[in-house]
Structure 1
Amino acid sequence: MPVLKKTALIEDLSDNQFVQRYSFTREDGAEGSIELRPAEADKWTTFRDQLRNRNAHPSLLIKPTIEAAAASEPEKRSAYAATTGWRPGYKTFVLADRAIGANTKNICGLPPDAYRPQPRGTSKAWLRSVGMLARKSSGMMLTTCCSFAAPLLRIANEQSFGFCLAGKTGGGKTTATLVGSSVGGAGQIDQLLTWNATLAGLEPALRSYNDCLMVVDDLNKMPVASEKEKYHSTNNFAHNLGTGSTKLRSPAFDDGSDNGEQYRVISLTSAETTIAELAAKCGEQRGGDARRLIDVPIYLDGLDHIFDRVPNAGQLSQSELQQLFSAVHTACAQEHGEIFAQYVRFLIRSRSELPDKIVKHMKRFRANATGGTDGIVYADIIRKFGLVYAGGSLAIEGVGLPWKRAELLYAVAKCCDVALDTLSTEQRTLEAGWKLLKARLMSLPRASTVERSEYSSIDGYVEQKPDRYRCVIKNDKFNRMFSNPLQRKMVMDKLARLGWITLSRSQENQGQFIWPDGVRRRSLEINWRRRTS
């Protein structure tokens, strides 16, 4: 017999409004479900039309049946949380489809529009399949640990951050992000967040991934018209990620939440080049976003794929690589989501000891980190990798992640080293550009040796002064000597800081210096200081 009944009254904690959930018999005999605001359910014609749109059995589409269902008491009362993540006291953790731990508000997850793929498989099967396969790659170990580290951000009072795995297409960088996702989220690449959705509005994504790992598909799929637009969109994403995007004024932060003033998320994405290289193409320097969305060149040891921990990794054939990729993708599709719930239960049981354990693991990582410590950015990035290591270490303890701590430490440190190396790339870029400039200026002829008729055919000239060499060089020749716009910009900035460059003079128009032959030419004047005894 066809049935229409009110199964639940659900409060949305983000705005304190309610919805009523009804189950009903469809015309084909299957069970359907619908959620309506109380005011909608009280209007029987509106209710009827909603049922009809969902193919409800015709016998249910009558006024007495609908009004009786609307007036009935719900079978249970529950609530939708404003976000995923921790509730007060770290006794409850909300996932998209359920709450783990103490649940005094009867939270049943997030509203249906906050979509997250349903878990599949079991924790034990994930450990045997994905967990073991991840050991074959330092990059996959890193991304796996990111999922386990995300719930620690708030406990350790760390801000959100992310990693961009860089490498050419076909080497497995997206596969590495998928492995990280499989811990608590999607198990297939086509289920990952897209840049279309993320750029349209970051807050919906953050609500669904608060205190969790958020994996966004490859940067190269970003819907932008130019490399410069891609860089600026990425930079904005990194900034919003690092600041939590939405502050306490948002209704997402209900009075009972434990979100503090912002979301906490670890994010993963991938790209064919590092974001630093993308910035360089656009003549930009990354600045503070370099420690919010951290570049990690993911093909290690000179390989062109992610499986650096496989014996004889450099000798793997394409067929062997494809078998490895297939095994990982199949394992993730079959086993995803459940291991994270088990891990969160361990964190809840251990909540009183967690701060000390996190500090201990982070100190161990810092003590073994081989990267440089110059500057705040270096120290900040090492600390973030230390938190990732702490996540992996706690997973070994809490859910039996089948790795040894020594191999975990080595893998995460290896990734940290290459990430730190990308930071020093800009300094090396400047040093190389400075050498190019010095060599080019030294090759310019002395003005005293140049005939008046020869100035039109030379790139520039040098005049020796008591304390400096006055070097004048054509703009186009200056610009062409550098490897990319960033190198040119960095050299120009250094010249400006030293006070060695003159772009124009009051009596000369827009950098058109008057050369010794009396002709105005677009050029730069560089006053290279002479060494004095």
Structure 2
Amino acid sequence: MEYEYPHKIESLFDEATETWSDIYAAKNLKGQVVQIAIPREEQEPEQIAKAFLRKGVSLPSKDVRRGPIAAAAQVQAPIAHRAARAGWHPDGRAFVSFLHVSRSSRQKHVIRPPEAALTGGASELRIQGDLKGWQSFARLAKHSSAMFATLSAVFAAPLLTLVKRPPFALILVGPSRCGKSSAQLLAGSAMGFSREEQLPNMNATSAGLQAMAVAFNDHALLINEVGTAAGSKKSVYDTLRNTTYALSNGQDITRHPTWLGASTLGGATYSSIQVFSSEISPDEWAARNNDSRDPGEQARLISLPVLLNGQDSIFDLPPGDKTGEELKQWCKEQFGTIRQNVAEHRGTAFTTYTDYLISNRKQCVKAARGHVRRFERKFDATGRSAIERDIIGKFAVLYAGAVIAIEAEVLPYKPKRALSLIITACTAALGSVPDPKARLSENVKKLKRFLESPSIIDADACSKKQMKLISQSDGFYTKSEDITRYTVRAELFTGIFKTALDVRTVLEWLHSEGFLETTKQPDARKSNSWAQSQARWPDRSRPRSIVLQLPRGLVSLDII
């Protein structure tokens, strides 16, 4: 029988653990090449032999195999380094991705991707097909501002480190089956994903999501469907908020030293652009939880509506000759095109792009900064809030990523088209930033319309018989000098507004204006019991009520 002895092909230095091992190779019983890393301190011939026997490699008896394997262990093989993690290599001369390392000619050693990279769906990544094949369906993003912004995130993520911009997240917002997942899948195919199921999702612990962010350092992290987060629907916002702050902070948690990998991943910094998808906006998730988002969170997690220009799908810029059923069929066909082609052509776009970045790093840094400034100048900063300026700056990075990918001949677009698409997406994102004052004003108007309705009885004008029936009404009012006193059932008052947060916001405003009759102060709890009283109704009952004292009647509610 003819044997193939293991032979040393590489000496590997692991930058994460700062340890050495030798890589040996041999063919197994199926004729497949098996590679095994053997620690330098465990290279007795019999230790090497046992490792390969376990992998199905045929070897002769101990006495026969000892000499050839010992000789193989003495060979001086080429040196390679295994990167500590994905992203920019510390010396700036290489960009490490999951299946490919883009390396400068000045980089002394071959660099291998890190073992820890296979996290959060990265094990599903493949490089298949060719760039032209990928470009043939990537062109579809010209019909969708949100889809193009999502695709641009893949090419913008490596630029964050170069232009010294912080990590951030987009969240694609739109109803089910409108194309959000297709946008993420198209972007994912540039990196090497081929199915929606392969994308990371929110069904993970906070520590797990941070581990994904570390693994996807300097990469886009596409997280499908926020609604899959563990816990009740009401608590989704807590998970989303915590995840947003954790990922945008760019700092992994510090782990106990006994945790495997604590020395290399715990406390690691990272940079990425996350792209979530959700059927409702982050602000709506917050409102369901009787909460609101603070400005810092709004700038970190940017809501991007996908239904624009009155369209029913993510394609807000379809061909002009498509309408009605013909348009629906066209959209369906485009989604099908994406899903049918991603498995055949994937991964080549991002590897070609990172090769370009490495070969032209200095020029790309200068160009990226120029593209960012150019985009920011397209928006007049006068009168804009800090949040709005921050959002514009982040879309500017997306634009820079898109244009450099065009210059690298990866994205099949013209810079002018890219600018138009990103401006449209940025404008939609700016339009989704909530205006608390406008929302409060609208809710106070709702309250006024309710108090004006026939269901609120004028108790002063009631007969004794009518007074007995007042217990069946939603509320009543009485006038005394210049003050009109409105009493409304607490549960019905709550029903006037869309969310519990709206109720609380209105009550707090009424209290601050001195219109709410209560002896208590708003508390930190989410209950509104502090605003309720057990006022006596004309029928002598005392249901839980909201009592308002309006000095000028309903005109008092017009001041907001």
Q: CA deviation at 1:38?
A: 4.3
When residues 512 and 253 of structure 1 are mapped into structure 2, their CA distance, relative to the original with a 3 A threshold, is closer
Q: CA deviation at 1:68?
A: 2.9
- Counterpart of 1:523 in structure 2 is 545
- Counterpart of 1:483 in structure 2 is 498
Secondary structure at the aligned position of 2:154 is classed as helix
- Give the counterpart of 2:35 among 6, 26, 33: 33
Q: Hey, what's the Cα distance between the residues in 2 that align with 1:474 and 1:60?
A: 90
Give, as a single letter, the amino acid of the residue that structure 2 aligns with 1:526: L
- Give the counterpart of 1:2 among 1, 4, 20: 4
Q: Hey, what's the Cα distance between the residues in 2 that align with 1:388 and 1:144?
A: 9
- Give the counterpart of 1:216 among 211, 215, 223: 223
RMSD: 3.5
Q: Hey, what's the Cα distance between the residues in 2 that align with 1:223 and 1:505?
A: 37
Q: CA deviation at 1:406?
A: 2.3
Superposed counterparts of 1:246-285, under 5 Å: 246=252, 251-252=263-264, 262-285=269-292
- Give the counterpart of 1:119 among 122, 127, 130: 127
Secondary structure at the aligned position of 2:340 is classed as helix
- Counterpart of 1:158 in structure 2 is 165
- Give the counterpart of 2:345 among 307, 321, 335: 335
Q: Does 1:513 align with 2:528?
A: no
Q: CA deviation at 1:176?
A: 0.8
When residues 471 and 16 of structure 1 are mapped into structure 2, their CA distance, relative to the original with a 3 A threshold, is farther
Q: Hey, what's the Cα distance between the residues in 1 that align with 2:439 and 2:491?
A: 20
Secondary structure at the aligned position of 2:190 is classed as helix
- Counterpart of 2:524 in structure 1 is none
2:116–2:215 CA contact under 8 A, matched in 1 = no
Q: CA deviation at 1:433?
A: 1.6
Secondary structure at the aligned position of 2:408 is classed as helix
Deviations 1:9-59 (A, max 9, x none): 3232223234443323212222122334445655956x6665454333354
- Counterpart of 1:195 in structure 2 is 202
Superposed counterparts of 1:360-375, under 5 Å: 360-369=370-379, 374-375=384-385
- Counterpart of 2:57 in structure 1 is 56
Superposed counterparts of 1:109-148, under 5 Å: 109-111=113-115, 114=118, 115-116=122-123, 117-127=125-135, 129-148=136-155
* Structure 1 range deviating more: 393-402 or 478-487: 393-402
- Counterpart of 1:234 in structure 2 is 240
- Counterpart of 1:303 in structure 2 is 311
1:213–1:266 CA contact under 8 A, matched in 2 = yes
Q: Hey, what's the Cα distance between the residues in 2 that align with 1:335 and 1:367?
A: 37
Q: Hey, what's the Cα distance between the residues in 1 that align with 2:406 and 2:116?
A: 33
* Structure 1 range deviating more: 88-97 or 153-162: 88-97
2:182–2:339 CA contact under 8 A, matched in 1 = yes
Q: Does 1:352 align with 2:362?
A: yes
Q: Hey, what's the Cα distance between the residues in 1 that align with 2:68 and 2:282?
A: 57
Q: Hey, what's the Cα distance between the residues in 2 that align with 1:285 and 1:168?
A: 22
In structure 2, runs of 5+ residues without a counterpart are 256-261, 522-528
Q: CA deviation at 1:467?
A: 6.8
Deviations 1:188-237 (A, max 9, x none): 323322333575612331233111111122234x2524212322222222
Q: CA deviation at 1:352?
A: 3.1
Q: Does 1:290 align with 2:298?
A: yes
When residues 279 and 203 of structure 1 are mapped into structure 2, their CA distance, relative to the original with a 3 A threshold, is closer
Moved over 6 A (4+): 60-63, 247-250
Q: CA deviation at 1:253?
A: 7.2
1:6–1:20 CA contact under 8 A, matched in 2 = yes
Q: CA deviation at 1:243?
A: 0.5
- Counterpart of 1:149 in structure 2 is 156
Q: Does 1:15 align with 2:11?
A: no
Q: Hey, what's the Cα distance between the residues in 2 that align with 1:56 and 1:319?
A: 55
1:2–1:59 CA contact under 8 A, matched in 2 = no
Greater RCO, CA 8 A, separation 6+:
1
Superposed counterparts of 1:50-129, under 5 Å: 50-57=51-58, 59=60, 64=66, 68=70, 71-73=73-75, 75-88=77-90, 90-102=92-104, 103-111=107-115, 114=118, 115-116=122-123, 117-127=125-135, 129=136
When residues 17 and 500 of structure 1 are mapped into structure 2, their CA distance, relative to the original with a 3 A threshold, is farther
Q: CA deviation at 1:528?
A: 3.6
Q: Does 1:457 align with 2:466?
A: no
2:6–2:69 CA contact under 8 A, matched in 1 = no
Q: CA deviation at 1:67?
A: 6.8
* Structure 1 range deviating more: 412-421 or 464-473: 464-473
Deviations 1:289-321 (A, max 9, x none): 222222212122111222333313444355433
Report percent identity of matched pairs: 25
Q: CA deviation at 1:70?
A: 8.6
- Counterpart of 1:430 in structure 2 is 440
Secondary structure at the aligned position of 2:361 is classed as coil
1:198–1:205 CA contact under 8 A, matched in 2 = no
In structure 1, runs of 5+ residues without a counterpart are none
Q: CA deviation at 1:156?
A: 2.0
Q: Hey, what's the Cα distance between the residues in 1 that align with 2:46 and 2:551?
A: 87
Q: Hey, what's the Cα distance between the residues in 2 that align with 1:352 and 1:283?
A: 49
Q: CA deviation at 1:118?
A: 2.6
Q: Hey, what's the Cα distance between the residues in 2 that align with 1:496 and 1:50?
A: 75
Q: CA deviation at 1:172?
A: 1.8
When residues 513 and 70 of structure 1 are mapped into structure 2, their CA distance, relative to the original with a 3 A threshold, is farther
Give, as a single letter, the amino acid of the residue that structure 1 aligns with 2:230: V
Q: How many equivalent pairs are there?
A: 523
When residues 419 and 373 of structure 1 are mapped into structure 2, their CA distance, relative to the original with a 3 A threshold, is farther
2:13–2:82 CA contact under 8 A, matched in 1 = yes
Q: Hey, what's the Cα distance between the residues in 2 that align with 1:373 and 1:329?
A: 43
When residues 403 and 521 of structure 1 are mapped into structure 2, their CA distance, relative to the original with a 3 A threshold, is same
Q: Hey, what's the Cα distance between the residues in 1 that align with 2:436 and 2:422?
A: 23
